[in-house]
Structure 1
């Protein structure tokens, strides 16, 4: 195979495990335990993961002209501009003080998308991309993730002060590992992540997707000078449980933001596996290439009343989209039902209808 030749998608790139249905059912039960606990505490249901939002921003995604054939796929096949809304978050299922160091998440919803829809998103016109500020997932498959989730379910809503102390300890260990070039995604998931500014981070899909005729991972890279200047900077979270939200709000009001959406095509199924998201795909063999730009004008990134209402009305799922960007792999297949379960729980408990917006004006 010639170097950098993208693999063509076919259904047999996925390997379906015989017990996937049982694993998904057990994941839903673990998520139910988290949701029951948090909804009882808060008097409302929040997301079972990434419950705490740090900012919601509206902007436009512009798909580039003149993309080569292998990149002009799916929603990127035709140049043009789409309205978009992004949500910045931290990954826990309970709303914790920011002093607990956890990975950041960014969910991007692209509006006005056409094409054959994925199952469960019929009639919608959105495409969601859900990303985290790290290139790899911590578990090899949904069954391994289930073990971690059961532990998280047992510790939800317990010993918040103890979690802050533990986070400081784990952060010290993780900082040492980072200093010698060996960061631990597992320690970061447990509370040892640095208190980085979300707007300076690069975000990755971690798991692969169909990319029209090919297979790809997706990344969102900050490129405007104000965002690039924030890369690696940390936020003092010692005196404000919502310090990150305040920092995001200040930055978005002052500068807005400009990002590049890039894709990394799969060029070797052996070294770039579809079914093991712990494996980072070699960027020397297949670099991330820009296919679109995301522009967010200066705006208020969080207003307690308005932003809470918008956050309640929206749900994000990698299965909101078109068939040309079908999520691939065991972890992604499990996320289809678990994301829907979480959204349905929130909808039922809160009595708040959710809908996929056709335009930004539809949002609260």
Structure 2
């Protein structure tokens, strides 16, 4: 199959929305509100999103030596191996019982990455943040701000109500999926399936500059022990930390293998930079990595 040439990065591929700077400042204020609310409740600070961690895995990223020039960009330009850490989490800003099922997240911290850095950036790490869904819940930052304000008003309140609502929304989400409809908004409000995070594929959702080009990323499980877990539901009834307990048991003494995939932008109309609600499948594979607990 012949592919179109990847679109080269240029500042003009980004189109700023009216009042985008003001929207960003408002987002910061809402995140601060979530931080202040949870700090008062817990007596210490936690993250404003993905506050609850389920596992920290350590591993090694292997960068292939046969990548095409368009994929061999940035940290992937040099074959080799890097130590890394992976954090598995759930996306809420408060630490909730696992019976409230929300989208899962993965954060990768790749160590020992040399090269030119952004102004003001220090160190030799490269971070990637992904969630277990290919699209974002809203098209614009302003729309996301509206959703975030709603979530901020429910931060660390009414856990019992949230559990009941989550159960109802899971049913709604299942019904929608049965007719081929996916609703990231319903999943973000508690309707996500309560799946085993080790079997999930994780996506950057939004595009990023990728050396000379533009790309989205994803991380997919490839070892049989992980792919066997894809779609498995975790029964969290009466178990506040069911996900942590499950991942700990599954990874005890085991190793898993994932594939880091890159999807280059080749058509700005079909792969719009400014619309993260568009899903286009596919991607090259510049790296593999194995991890253990």
Deviations 1:247-277 (A, max 9, x none): 1111111422110000001110011000111
What is the 5 A alignment of 1:8-47?
Answer: 8-47=8-47
Segments ≥4 residues shifted beyond 4 Å: none
Q: Which residue of 2 aligns with 1:113?
A: 113
What is the 5 A alignment of 1:210-249?
Answer: 210-249=209-248
Q: Find out whether 1:291 has 2:286 as its counterpart.
A: yes
Where does structure 1 lack aligned partners over 5 or more consecutive residues?
300-364
- How far off is 1:210 after superposition? 1.0
Q: Find out whether 1:129 has 2:128 as its counterpart.
A: yes
Q: Which residue of 2 aligns with 1:158?
A: 157
- How far off is 1:157 after superposition? 1.4
- How far off is 1:17 after superposition? 2.9
What is the 5 A alignment of 1:319-338?
Answer: none
Q: Which residue of 2 aligns with 1:207?
A: 206
Q: Find out whether 1:147 has 2:146 as its counterpart.
A: yes
Q: Find out whether 1:260 has 2:259 as its counterpart.
A: yes
- How far off is 1:239 after superposition? 1.6
Whole-angstrom CA distance in 2 between matches of 1:146 and 1:71: 34
- How far off is 1:119 after superposition? 3.8
Whole-angstrom CA distance in 2 between matches of 1:17 and 1:182: 28
- How far off is 1:27 after superposition? 0.8
- How far off is 1:132 after superposition? 0.3
Q: Which residue of 2 aligns with 1:320?
A: none
Q: Any idea what SS the aligned residue of 2:191 has?
A: coil
Whole-angstrom CA distance in 2 between matches of 1:66 and 1:31: 42
Whole-angstrom CA distance in 1 between matches of 2:180 and 2:64: 35
Deviations 1:153-195 (A, max 9, x none): 1111111100000001111111111112212111100000011
Whole-angstrom CA distance in 2 between matches of 1:177 and 1:19: 34
Whole-angstrom CA distance in 2 between matches of 1:211 and 1:28: 26
Whole-angstrom CA distance in 2 between matches of 1:119 and 1:138: 31
Whole-angstrom CA distance in 1 between matches of 2:36 and 2:226: 38
Whole-angstrom CA distance in 2 between matches of 1:57 and 1:71: 26
Whole-angstrom CA distance in 2 between matches of 1:211 and 1:75: 10
- How far off is 1:18 after superposition? 4.2
Q: Find out whether 1:93 has 2:93 as its counterpart.
A: yes
Whole-angstrom CA distance in 1 between matches of 2:63 and 2:166: 40
**Greater helix percent: which structure?**
1
Q: Any idea what SS the aligned residue of 1:255 has?
A: coil
Whole-angstrom CA distance in 1 between matches of 2:18 and 2:276: 19
Deviations 1:262-316 (A, max 9, x none): 00011100110001111112x3xxx21110011113x3xxxxxxxxxxxxxxxxx
Distance 1:95 1:8, change over 3 A: same
Q: Which residue of 2 aligns with 1:62?
A: 62
- How far off is 1:236 after superposition? 0.6
Q: Any idea what SS the aligned residue of 2:25 has?
A: helix
Deviations 1:320-343 (A, max 9, x none): xxxxxxxxxxxxxxxxxxxxxxxx
Whole-angstrom CA distance in 1 between matches of 2:209 and 2:80: 21
Whole-angstrom CA distance in 2 between matches of 1:266 and 1:21: 26
- Comparing 133-142 with 17-26, greater Cα deviation is found at 17-26
Q: Any idea what SS the aligned residue of 2:144 has?
A: helix
Whole-angstrom CA distance in 2 between matches of 1:33 and 1:200: 33
Where does structure 2 lack aligned partners over 5 or more consecutive residues?
none
Aligned residue pairs: how many? 292
**Greater strand percent: which structure?**
2
Whole-angstrom CA distance in 2 between matches of 1:92 and 1:12: 34
Q: Any idea what SS the aligned residue of 1:191 has?
A: helix
